[in-house]
Structure formats: C-alpha cells, structure tokens
Structure 1
C-alpha cells in the first residue's frame, strides 16, 4: 500500500503558510492552498476562553 503512494502523482492540500504552496507550484506540483490559523491566533488563554464558550453551547 505504501509503495502505491509513490507510484501516483503527488497532490497536496496546504493549510497555513502560503509560501509552502508557492514552492510546490514552482515545482509543478498540484496544490490547493487553504487559509488557516490556530484558534485565537495561538494564544492559549484566548483558546481556553473560546473552548469554555463552546462548552456552554453544547
């Protein structure tokens, strides 16, 4: 099964840094770029507050 992966055309979904997608495009690798950033911008305190709000909604 793993060997099959290397026999197929590489296709990539890039989440986050657009520079990675641009590098792959320059190498003619099919890539889809998805804008993504961690919840609360990576701030652990804000992420905890958001998680608490989500728990209240459940």
Structure 2
C-alpha cells in the first residue's frame, strides 16, 4: 500500500513549476497572457448556436 501524500506536497509543484495556461474562447485573453511571457494554449471555441439555447436544442434534434 502506498503511503499517503500530504496536500502541501501535491500543491508545491503547482507553485514552483512553470505553468501553461489553457485559454478557451476569447483569443484576446491568450494574447494578453502570451504578451506577459506565459506559455499559452488557445482553444478557439464558441457555444453551439452562438449560445442561443432554443436553436441549440433544435440543432441537437437534427444531429441525432
């Protein structure tokens, strides 16, 4: 059986290692973070049907 790891031992690497930011949606946020020298992965995403719930429901019925 493995010995339990103290919570501080799990968190410490998050505070001391280089972070990579995953940006979802607005590209401007990714650009701002990159300008500050952060490592950034940008995911170009938008909600289905532009966020229109009714249209998204209709589209999901068409898609199966």
TM-score (norm 2): 0.74
Within 2, Cα distance between the matches of 1:2 and 1:22? 27
Q: Does 1:26 align with 2:50?
A: no
Which segments of 5 or more consecutive residues in structure 1 lack a partner in the other structure? Answer: none
**Alignment: residue pair count:** 55
Q: Deviations over 1:16-36 (max 9, x none)?
A: 101110110111001121211
Runs of 4 or more, structure 1, over 6 Å off, are none
Within 2, Cα distance between the matches of 1:9 and 1:15? 20
Q: Does 1:40 align with 2:49?
A: yes
Which structure has the bigger radius of gyration? 2
Which segments of 5 or more consecutive residues in structure 2 lack a partner in the other structure? Answer: 1-9
Residue in 2 aligned with 1:53?
Answer: 62
CA RMSD of aligned residues (A): 1.2
Residue in 2 aligned with 1:10?
Answer: 19
TM-score (norm 1): 0.80
